[in-house]
Amino acid sequence: MSPEGKLISREPVTLLAIETSCDETAAAVVSETGDPVRPWHLRSNIVASQAAIHREWGGVVPELASRQHLRDICGVVEDALAKAGADFNDLGAVAVTQGPGLVGSLLVGVSFAKSLAWTYGIPLIPVHHLAGHIESLVLEHGELPLPAAVLVVSGGHTSLYFITEPGRYSLIGRTRDDAAGEAYDKVAKLLGLGYPGGPVIDKLAKTGNDRAFAFPVPRMTHADRNQREPTAPSGLLPKSMERRVDFSFSGLKTAVARVVAERTSDPRTPMLDPREVADIAASFQRVVVQALLDRTFEAAAWLGVKSLGISGGVSANSRLRADAEARGAKVGLPVFIPPLALSTDNAAMIGAAAMRKLRAGVTADWDLNALASMPL
């Protein structure tokens, strides 16, 4: 039952989804298909990126982000409806990212979605941002062969999930420090490449020598004492494995910082040579991708999964995509990755995750609040 006791239709539903957790204002229209294998159809997917605004500051400025969401949200929603050939009266529900993210940014989407749901008397569906990244895989490829392992790699998260039934996500590994995307952004800053770092390092890495610098591949071991309990639920992985599936990227970032400091310490050569920058980018990227894939494939083998998914902003990375597919082909494991438009933040994925919740009967009350952090 939704707020005000609105019943959810048994007929295929069309919903509007809104995502404002960080620096993209996004809206999408998603419809149910009635086909259990490919359950959702994406009718429009609009993203207004604020990257140009934050680039000047070298990263996302939360206050500027919230203000820009306010400016953009009406136009983005109107665009999403127009592209879908729909209007507000066609909507059976409104979905919104509740968290995690920047709370001021999230609030813009949550307030907008609430007003819309109230005005049209339709259910409001709260969505976890990472559930969105996971379900972007199903939106694009249809239901994954289960059990599946899904790696979500974004600017805020590097988390590995085990999925045994649709919509239930069990966290088995996560970063102990920086997220992979965060490492990309910080290394890009060190190299003077601007924000966001992922796309520019990805492009530059293609021109560099990925063996020029022997950065260490970060590895967690069972002897690591920074965390008392392993991330994976007890019994899921063998004892020797359960701490190894966590990730760490801050040491790698420090190793890059050290190389940059060494190379620029001579006052006669205070700037990095462009070829050196490309070599550092390529070497850094090789190590990030290897660290992500080693752990993920190792866990996938132990868990005996039937498919592997990789999603989130960093899944747009050309080397990660190519290497994951090559490794999957080698071991006979189907690998699913969203298309680029669904890798980085978007509202289509929020619409997909919302459809699961809608059909599970989960809707929000009018006191729904944005949450900077929340469990999945």
Query: How far is it, in rounded angstroms, from Cα 236 to Cα 233?
Result: 6
| Rounded distance between C-alpha atoms, residue 5 and residue 119, angstroms | 14
CB of 347 to ligand KG4, least distance (A): 12
Residue 345 touching Zn ion (CB under 5 A): yes
298 contacts 328 by C-beta, under 8 angstroms: no
Per CB under 6 A, 155 contacts ligand KG4? yes
- Subset of residues 201 to 260 that bind ligand KG4, contact rule: CB under 6 A: 202
Give, in order, the Cα–Cα distances in Å from 120 to each of 115, 246, 337.
9, 45, 35
Is residue 67 within 8 Å of residue 50, measured between CB atoms? Answer: no
Amino acid at 174: R
CA distance 373 to 347: 19
How many residues make up the chain in this entry?
A: 376
- Considering the complex, what minimum distance in angstroms separates the CB of residue 54 from ligand KG4? 11
Instruction: List the one residue out of 250, 256, 263, 251 whose CA is nearest residue 205.
Output: 256
Whole-Å CA distances, 367 to 13, 36, 70, 104, 346: 24, 33, 20, 16, 25
Q: Which is nearer to ligand KG4, 317 or 363 (CB)?
A: 317
* Least distance CB 200 / ligand KG4 (angstroms): 8
Burial per residue of 161-175, b for 16 or more beta-carbon CB atoms within 10 angstroms, e otherwise = bbbeebbebebbbbb
Residues 102-141, mask of contacts with ligand KG4 (x by CB under 6 A): ----------------------------------------
Q: Does 175 bind ligand KG4 (CB under 6 A)?
A: no
Residue 36 Cβ vs ligand KG4, minimum distance, rounded to whole Å: 28
Taking the least distance from each CB to ligand KG4, the nearer of 156 and 309 is 156
Per-residue interface string for the shown chain with ligand KG4, residues 334-363, x marking contact by CB under 6 A: ----------xx------------------
- Candidates 132, 181, 218, 309; binder of ligand KG4 (CB under 6 A) is 181
Dist. CA 123–CA 141, nearest whole Å: 27
9-28 positions binding ligand KG4, by CB under 6 A = 22
Closest CA to 110 of 319, 327, 374: 374
Q: Which of 99, 196, 230, 309 binds ligand KG4 (CB under 6 A)?
A: 196
How many residues sit in the footprint of ligand KG4 (CB under 6 A)?
19
Q: Which of 154, 158, 231, 283 binds Zn ion (CB under 5 A)?
A: 154
Query: 1: helix, coil or strand?
Result: coil
User: Which residue number, 244 or 286, has a Cβ lying nearer to ligand KG4?
Assistant: 286
DSSP 59: S
Piece in contact with ligand KG4 (CB under 6 A), picked from 43-51, 109-117, 190-198, 256-264: 190-198
Quick one: what does residue 173 bind among Zn ion, ligand KG4, none, with the CB cut-off 5 to 8 Å set by partner type?
none
Closest CB to Zn ion among residues 73, 314: 314
Select the residue whose beta carbon is closest to Zn ion and give its number.
154
Residue span binding Zn ion (CB under 5 A) among the ranges 86-94, 246-254, 274-282, 338-346: 338-346
Instruction: Provide the token pair at 165.
Output: 């039934």
Structure tokens belonging to residue 277: 């920058």
Tell me the backbone φ, ψ of residue 244, rounded to 5 degrees: -75, -15
Cα 291 to Cα 159: distance, rounded to the nearest angstrom = 13
The span of 218-226, 323-331, 339-347, 361-369 binding Zn ion (CB under 5 A) equals 339-347
Distance in Å, CB of 347 to Zn ion, minimum: 11
Q: Which of ligand KG4, Zn ion, none is residue 181 near (CB under 5 to 8 Å by kind)?
A: ligand KG4
Tokens of 71: 């400016």
- Residues lying near Zn ion in the complex (CB under 5 A) are found at 154, 345
User: Using CB under 6 A as the criterion, which residues of the chain lie in contact with ligand KG4 when the complex forms?
Assistant: 22, 154-156, 181, 184-185, 196-199, 202, 312-314, 316-317, 344-345
